[in-house]
A and B are shown apart, each in its own frame.
Chain A
C-alpha cells in the first residue's frame, strides 16, 4: 500500500472497525502517517494528498530532535 503522504510502498492496514466492514485504519512505518479508509480523498489518495503536507525521505531524516 502506498502512503499518501510520503509515497512509501511499505504502508499497510493495521486495524479494522469493530463493526465489520465500516472502515480500515492504515499506517506508514516510514513517516508514521495514519489514515482511515473513510476519510476524505485528500487524506487517503496519494495523488490527491495535500501538497503542503507531503514529505520525502530527506525531510524525515532531517527532522530535529528536541529532547
Chain B
C-alpha cells in the first residue's frame, strides 16, 4: 500500500505519475469552460483522469482541480492500491480498514494554510476562482469543502464535532448559503445553537487530501469522529489536524484554504436551484446563512471543485463505496449471511444486497433493516435483494436475478408514505415517497412457489480455464 497523502498536492503529484492527471495550461474562462470540462471528463469512463487548470481568465495565479475522485482508477490510488483494482477489491479494502476505527488524531500547531490570513474586506469572488457549474445554478458554489461544526449542547465532545460535505452557495463577497437536510449532523448542530439563541461557529476546509473528502461524505454515526475514521482509512496513520484560530474548531493540517465564520442565528435565505446528484436541479429553499470572518490560505492555493449532474459524474465515485460499506457493516451485525451491499447509484437511492437466505421471507427482512439504518431512512428508495451467488456490483448478474427470480405479485413489496431526502424529484410531497423492496432471491421453504429448477453450475475446472484464458488475453 502506498503511504497516505497528507494533502491535495501530494495526491495530484501521485496521480500525475500514474498518468491520471491532465494539466490544462491554456487560458480558460470560469464559465462555461470549467463546468463544461467537468461534465466532459466524467464522460470518459471508469479510468478518467483528474484535471488541473492553471490559467483562469481574470486571475493571476489561480489553480482549479476537478475530477480528483472521478474514476475507479483514482479511487484506488487514493487508497494506495493499484489503479486497476476492481470495485469489489476496493469495497473489501475499505471495509477492512474501517475495523481499525478509531485511530487517535495527530495534533499539530503549524499548517501550510497559515501562510496568509485575511480578516478585513474579504471577497471570495476575488480570492478564489469560484464558478458556475451548470447553467441553471443560482451562482458559484463551493461544493467539495469539508464543513466543520460542533454540538453546542456538548461542545467538548470531539466525536460529535462534525466534518461533512454540504453545498455552499457563494452569494456575496463574505456571504454563503448552506444546504443541510434534517437527518444530517449539521441540522442537529444548528438546532442546538439556535435553542441557545446563538449563531453556530463554522470552519470550511477547501482543497483537502482525498481520504478526508471521502470520510466527510460518509454516513458515520453521530458521535463518530471523521478524523479518527480518516486515520483508520489511512491504514492506521493518524490524521493530522490543527486548531483554527478564530473558531477553535479542528481542521485538516493539509487544506489549501480554510474559511472561518458563523452560521447566523435564525437566518434563512433563498438558496438554489443547483444541479444535484439526482440529475435534476433542486428547487429553491430557505436555507441557513454563513458569514465569513477569516480566510486562511496557502500562497497560490489550489481550488478543488466537484462536477455533478446526470450520473455518472465524480460525485457518484466519491459516494459509492463510502455509502456501501457502512450499510454492509450495519446489516452484517444482525445478519451475518449478508455478503456485500452495492449502494453506488444516486447516493444509494437504489441498494442491492447480496445475501445467503436463511429461510423463506428472509430477504425482505434484511431489506427492511436496511430501510431503518441512518442512511436508509433518507435514501434507500428501492432495495433489491439477490442471492449470495450474485455479485451485487455486477449489474448483468443482478439483472439476471431480477428476470429469473422475481414474480411481481409476491416479490415487489411497497411501503407508502415514507420519509426521504427532499432532493429526490419523485417525492410527493417533497420529502415523502413510497419505498420498494424487490426480493430477487430464489424462494426458500416455507415460501414454496413457482417451478425453480436446479441452478446450473459448471464443472469445477471452469475456474482454471478462466485463469488460463485471462493470461492468454492479457
Contact = CB atoms under 8 A, between A and B. Distances in A.
Interface of A: 5, 14-19, 22-23, 25, 27, 29, 31-36, 38-40, 42-43, 50, 52-53, 55, 59-60, 63-67
Contacts of A66: 180-182, 285-287, 422, 431
Interface residues of B, number: 47
A42 B160 CA distance: 44
A8 to B, nearest CB: 11
A40 B125 CA distance: 18
A34 B140 contact: yes
Contact of A31 (B30, B32, B270): B270
Contacts of B60: 18-19
B155 interface: no
Interface in B42-70: 57-60
B270 A32 contact: yes
Contacts of B39: none
A35 B186 CA distance: 28
Given A64-B285, A67-B288, A38 B270 contact: no
Given A63-B284, A65-B286, A36 B270 contact: no
Q: Is the interface of A mostly helix, strand, loop or mixed?
A: loop
Interface of B: 29-32, 57-60, 123, 125-126, 131-132, 135-136, 138-140, 169-173, 177, 180-182, 184, 186-187, 190-191, 268-271, 273, 281, 283-288, 422, 430-431
B136 A52 contact: yes
Nearest to B126: A15
28 contacts: A5-B138, A14-B125, A14-B172, A15-B126, A15-B173, A16-B126, A18-B60, A22-B58, A23-B30, A25-B125, A31-B138, A31-B284, A32-B171, A32-B177, A33-B139, A34-B171, A36-B132, A38-B31, A40-B135, A43-B132, A53-B136, A59-B284, A63-B270, A63-B271, A63-B284, A64-B430, A65-B285, A66-B422
B139 A34 contact: yes
A26 to B, nearest CB: 10
